[in-house]
Structure 1
C-alpha cells in the first residue's frame, strides 16, 4: 500500500506546485472576483500540506505495519480529492453548492491526523 501512497503523493505534489504557479501567474486576474483567488490559494495550500503528510505516511509504512496508517493514508487521499478538488471546481465553475462538500474533505484531513496519532500511540 505504501507504493500507492508514494505515487499519489508524488503526483499530488507535482500538481500542487503546478496549480500554485498557474494560479499565481496565469489565473491571477481571472480569480480576483469574489475572493476566488483566496479560495484557490487555500486549495493549493491544503493540497500541499496533506500531500507532504501522505508522503510521510508512506515512508512510515516502510518501517512499520499498522492498520491505522492505512486509514490515515486513505483519509489524506480522499481529503485531498474532496477538499482541494471541490475548491478548484468551485473557483472555475462558480458552483456554490460545492461549498457544502468541502467540509467533508476537511473532516477526512482531521481523521487522517487522528489515525496518525493512533499509529504513534499504538505502534511505538
Structure 2
C-alpha cells in the first residue's frame, strides 16, 4: 500500500527532526531563550514528536490513525516550536496546540477501537 510507505517515511523523517529539535532545545536554544518554562515547552514538543513518530511507524498500515498522528504532531509540536521561538508573531497558533493534542489522542483511540488486523505490517525498505 502506497500510503503505508509514505507514512513510514514521514515517521522516520519526523523522528530524525525530533532528535534534532530536542538537541537544539537542549543546547542552542538556551543561548537565545532564558525562560525555563519556554525551554520545557520546547522539550515537551520534541518528546511528543519523537514518541508519536514511533507510534506513526507502528500505525503506518492504518491510514486513519497514521493521518491523525501526522496531523497531531504537526499541529501540537509545530505550534509549540513556533510559539517558543516567536510568541508574538505566532500568537494565532495558540489554539492549534490543543487541536493537535486531540488528534494525537484520537490516533491512539483509533488504534484501540479500530479494525484489529494483528501486528503492524511494515513496508519493505
TM-score by length of 2: 0.84
In structure 1, the partner of 2:50 is: 48
String of CA shifts for 1:44-94, please: whole Å, max 9, x gaps: 011011101001112xx2xxxxxxx21100000000100000000001111
Cα distance in 2 for partners of 1:23, 1:12 equals 16
The yes-or-no answer on 1:9 pairing with 2:3 is: no
| CA RMSD, Structure 1 to Structure 2 (Å) | 1.5
* Aligned-residue offset at 1:99: 2.3
Stretches of structure 1 lacking an aligned partner (at least 5 in a row)? 62-68
The answer to which of 74-83 and 19-28 deviates more is 19-28
Gapped regions of structure 2 (runs ≥ 5): 119-125
**d(CA) in 2 for partners of 1:100, 1:12:** 22
Rounded to whole Å, the distance in 2 between the matches of 1:54 and 1:103 is: 19
Equivalence for 1:66: none
Looking at secondary structure, tell me which structure has more helix per residue. 1
How many residues matched?
Answer: 114
